[in-house]
Structure 1
Amino acid sequence: MKKLVVFMLNCMVVFQVFAQNMNNEKESRMQWFEDAKLGIFIHWGIYSVNGIDESWSFFNDYISYDDYMKQLDGFTAQNYNAAAWAKLIAESGAKYSVLTTKHHDGVALWDTKCGDLSVVKSSPAATDLVAPFVKELRKNNLKVGLYYSLLDWSHPDYPNKTRKIKRYETDSLKWDRFVDFNFCQLEELSKQFKPDLFWFDGDWEQSAEKWNAKELSEDLRDWNKNVILNSRIQGYGDYATPEQGLPITRPDNRYWELCMTMNDSWGYQHNDKNYKTPNQVIRILVDCINKGGNLLLDIGPKPDGTIPEEQIAILKELGRWTNKHAEAIYGTRAGIPFEHYYGPSALSKNGDIMYLFVPHIPRGPLVLKGIKNKINRMWVVGNGTKLNWDVKMKQYWSSVPGIVYIDVPEKVLDDQVTVIAVLLDGKVDLYREKGQVIESN
């Protein structure tokens, strides 16, 4: 009996060590992602020709499948300049970019040898569009992300959408061929481009077992040891991907990323002029930073490869702001609860600097509550101006911290969002108790 107990205890220790090693390995792999805060999503495909919804327009019967695929004839990419794209993305302050290598329509943007449907073989573009972009991202020290749709509504062996186009009975041989096709394309992308991140989509139509998701995730890491996978691979991803809707509370997953359009469309749609203002985009980014996540902001290039002027303008103003406030963005961690500061905030990686985001013109001093630490200094980020502060309601007999009032002169305010840095005497220590009553004076 004693031997059995010792054996079981040894097994528990081995398991704990294994789990800790796995956790350390993930933390190491995810560090650049957690520090990045901002990425640029790019939805580019034949759907930009007519300016219609990518893939969904034929799935939802807004247009016939055949008419949708006729857009291949108008996809020229004649003004595509990968160097200019990468330079603009770097200027925006983004640290990574994710390109749609293949959406649900099955049209590949690279020269795939696993199938015949690609812009290389079937459109006037007639060239690999992924390779030059990956090369230019690397030149600009940007991490490379590749979007890939697991489902393929054009593939003859994929059951769901194909059944609406051409009825047939699904069988295991067809499904096995389709899974092999997915593995084949993902091996191409992995070995040719060695992406830092795979952004999967479309996993909802099948189970993890059907996708062979466990084996796929293992193969992807065999082909590229440190690759990061998003959540849309039926439980085998590294981080969560809320879409369009900004989380109100911090997601449970430590690593997460909000993907969001600039207007109401992922791909280029000439009729969609409902663009968010730079101020709105920056404030959404600030909300993501406050909750410890990233923003993956989308652009949709035209069929000739040019980026719409409205999108360029947003990226440039975003870049001005991120460049000015870099210390309060990159490498920071989630901020303090709103009970302590009526606005979004962030903390330096070691927790001794609080960054207070001010998205408005203050009508009086800013207020900090429940900060146990001594405050050493305050300044305006990107400006350097030192700020004055005053402490009220700090009683000598009470452990409850006083209320800190911070004066912010109007002349130091940023046109979009101002950032105030508060240097503490150590890692932030918050008072979370219920208050104290005088017992002796």
Structure 2
Amino acid sequence: MTMNLKSVILFGLLLGTAFAPARAETPEQKAERMEWFSRAKLGIFIHWGIYSTGKTSESWAFHNGYVSLDDYMKQREEFTAAEYDPALWADLIAQSGARYTVITTKHHDGFALWDTKAGDVSAVKSSPAGRDVIAPFAEEVRKRGVRLGFYFSLIDWPREDYTDIYRAGPVRYKIADEPERWQHFVDFNFAQLRELNETWKPDLYWFDGDWEHSAEEWRSKEIVDMLRSTNPGVIVNSRIQGYGDYATPELGVPVVRPESEWWETCMTINNSWGYRLDDDDYKSPHTLLCMLVDCIGLGGNLLLDIGPRADGTIPDEQVAVLKEFGRWTGKHAEAVYDTRAGIPAGHVAGYTSLSLDGKTLYVYLPYRPTESVEVKGLKSRIARVRVVGTDRELAWKQYNDISWSEVPGVYYIDVPEEALDEQITVLALDMEEPVRLYRGSGQILSFNEY
């Protein structure tokens, strides 16, 4: 039997796994699509689901055998969302200075937070909440100009048509032995993603769980093609077996910049992704802000996670962190959003970034200088030094600036106590030209004109 292209596409749409191929994207087109993400710098991750009772970790609790699947799923009975205020959530996110947010639409346990027609396990059908909790959140977030991202687990361990459930095994089946069963699961994934995509057209998808199967098995390329067929500007993270746009190192800022041009570090606010009754080990705002400027200095973003309770309230400790982030990012917006990766370590004791034109070097000081801040290896000359977020200019001196030496002199910037921010002080070194650096090991002078 022969089929023309139109028939092939129609047949694929019926199956839910084949779509017209996307046109090849040029590097310039991708850079344009990624521009908002590259400037965003801060996002807020939200882990919310039946695990938000605080009794267990999200999904891994039953997968790793710490609790039975039945006991884990019984937590649905306490997912009430009774105090859920999506407008308050959106306000806190916007006030934090975050330019995007990513909410868990479905974790590895298969519990969907929207009114999915593709399955029976959801906030609407199988919890006291009895309603779609994604819809009002998406509406409120977009009212505030914040980009909307959806976390979606490719894994759905409890489903009978998925291959695995427990880490220690045994597997339910092998795809090679039961391809029709696997196809049924793939169709289910496509159906749920189509619902999310056509209803909300999110700005970003944050996939997870791709390690359990290959790109061919997940139909990764087809997933991305399907999403972009109706949502062409959407950004996709790396966890889809090679078809994503940006890297996602987890729970630790990289020591060196990732190879990917675009990346983010996702980070918990305490030690847990979801709300936990027994986890009060919260990181301080100062610690988390240091992580933010570290990411900025390496040219990436920080995706900071919060974990609301099952009733929809957000713990006070998490609210306090978001508000302090808002104070700091609001004051230092110039040195947060429209920046690119800074200069290599060793030139100054602090984190750095550059303005987009390269003519301003931002220096982030997570400490209180006792006298002055040393900056070495700057071949470009400083025109002035400012304290970002204030109208204050600082004095500086340059020592050993010898005209016939290739090694530039060392700058010492006076930073008085009253100029310091309570968390991280930011200096703006406005240069006479785009920053140029000396990166050598020093020089022995063989003559002296004095």
TM-score, normalised by the number of residues in structure 2: 0.92
Q: Given the alignment of the two structures, is residue 379 of structure 1 paired with residue 383 of structure 2, yes or no?
A: no
> Residues of 2 paired with 1:364 and 1:238: CA distance?
44
**Alignment match, 2:62:** 58
**Alignment match, 1:396:** 403
**Which residue of 150, 157, 168 corresponds with 2:154?**
150
**Alignment match, 1:438:** 446
**Alignment match, 1:113:** 117
Alignment length (residue pairs) = 423
> Residues of 2 paired with 1:245 and 1:63: CA distance?
28
**Which residue of 210, 214, 218 corresponds with 1:211?**
218
Asked if the contact 1:344/1:356 (under 8 Å) is kept, the reply is yes
Stretch moving more, 98-107 or 366-375: 366-375
Q: Specify the code of the residue in structure 1 equivalent to 2:223.
A: L
**Alignment match, 2:12:** none
Aligned-pair identity in percent equals 55
Stretch moving more, 27-36 or 428-437: 428-437
**Alignment match, 1:137:** 141
Asked if the contact 1:336/1:345 (under 8 Å) is kept, the reply is yes
1:13-43 per-residue CA deviation (whole Å, 9 max, x = no partner) reads xxxxx98x61011100111001000000000
Residue 271 (structure 1) shift? 1.2
Q: Map 1:61-140 to 2 at 5 A.
A: 61-140=65-144
Q: Given the alignment of the two structures, is residue 248 of structure 1 paired with residue 255 of structure 2, yes or no?
A: yes
**Which residue of 171, 181, 188 corresponds with 2:188?**
181
The SS at the match of 2:303 is: strand
Residue 435 (structure 1) shift? 3.6
The SS at the match of 1:138 is: helix
Change (3 A) 1:53 1:162: closer
1:128-163 per-residue CA deviation (whole Å, 9 max, x = no partner) reads 010111101100000000000001012111011179
Gaps of 5+ in 2: 1-22
**Alignment match, 2:31:** 27
> Residues of 2 paired with 1:24 and 1:257: CA distance?
21
Change (3 A) 1:43 1:123: same
> Residues of 2 paired with 1:378 and 1:169: CA distance?
65
**Alignment match, 2:271:** 264
Q: Specify the code of the residue in structure 1 equivalent to 2:31.
A: E
Q: Given the alignment of the two structures, is residue 281 of structure 1 paired with residue 288 of structure 2, yes or no?
A: yes
The SS at the match of 2:26 is: helix
Q: Specify the code of the residue in structure 2 equivalent to 1:339.
A: G
Q: Given the alignment of the two structures, is residue 232 of structure 1 paired with residue 239 of structure 2, yes or no?
A: yes
> Residues of 1 paired with 2:171 and 2:37: CA distance?
43
The SS at the match of 1:47 is: helix
> Residues of 2 paired with 1:102 and 1:74: CA distance?
17
Residue 284 (structure 1) shift? 0.8
Greater helix fraction, Structure 1 or Structure 2: 1
> Residues of 1 paired with 2:201 and 2:229: CA distance?
11
Gaps of 5+ in 1: 1-17
Calculate the aligned-residue CA RMSD, in Å. 1.6
Asked if the contact 2:124/2:131 (under 8 Å) is kept, the reply is yes
1:181-229 per-residue CA deviation (whole Å, 9 max, x = no partner) reads 1111111101101100000000000001100111111111112000000
**Which residue of 173, 197, 200 corresponds with 1:193?**
200
Q: Given the alignment of the two structures, is residue 352 of structure 1 paired with residue 356 of structure 2, yes or no?
A: no
> Residues of 2 paired with 1:396 and 1:425: CA distance?
17
**Which residue of 418, 421, 424 corresponds with 2:425?**
418
1:291-330 per-residue CA deviation (whole Å, 9 max, x = no partner) reads 1110000000001101000100111111111111000000
Asked if the contact 2:290/2:366 (under 8 Å) is kept, the reply is yes
**Alignment match, 1:4:** none
> Residues of 1 paired with 2:168 and 2:369: CA distance?
57
Residue 433 (structure 1) shift? 3.2
Q: Specify the code of the residue in structure 2 equivalent to 1:261.
A: T
Asked if the contact 1:98/1:144 (under 8 Å) is kept, the reply is yes
> Residues of 1 paired with 2:399 and 2:383: CA distance?
17
